[in-house]
Structures are given as C-alpha cells and as structure tokens.
C-alpha cells in the first residue's frame, strides 16, 4: 500500500507464482512458435524454388 500524502510504501508486494509461471510459459511458447514458423517458411520456400529435372 502506498501513502498518498507521503508516498511511503508499506507492506510487501504480492506475487502470484501461478501468474508468473504462465507468463514465462507464454513467452516460451510465442518464441518457439516464431522460430518454428521461420524454419517452416524457409523449408517451404526451399522446396518451391528447387528446379524440377526430368530424366528420360
């Protein structure tokens, strides 16, 4: 709690371990998704740009 007149902070900050866990998990999932999307797009572009050779 913060005193509005003096600005003094009293008490301790409340941390939620569950919210912290989900925030970190979300960051990891977003980062992994971006990396996998980048790798997938590079794989698709490499496949589509490969010339097709016909053998007789």
Sign of CA dihedral 28, 31, 33, 36: negative
HSE toward the beta carbon, residue 52, CA cutoff 13 A:
2
pLDDT band at 17 (very low <50, low <70, confident <90, very high): very high
pLDDT band at 48 (very low <50, low <70, confident <90, very high): low
What's residue 15's pLDDT? 82
Q: Give 31-46 pLDDT, tens digit per residue.
A: 999 998 888 887 765 5
- Give the residues across from 41 on adjacent strands: none
What's residue 45's pLDDT? 58
């Amino acid at each position: 709690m913060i005193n509005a007149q003096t600005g003094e902070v009293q008490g301790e900050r409340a941390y939620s371990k569950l919210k912290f866990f989900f925030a970190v998990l979300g960051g990891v999932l977003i980062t992994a998704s971006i990396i996998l999307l980048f790798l997938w797009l590079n794989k698709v572009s490499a496949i589509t740009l490969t010339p097709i050779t016909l053998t007789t």
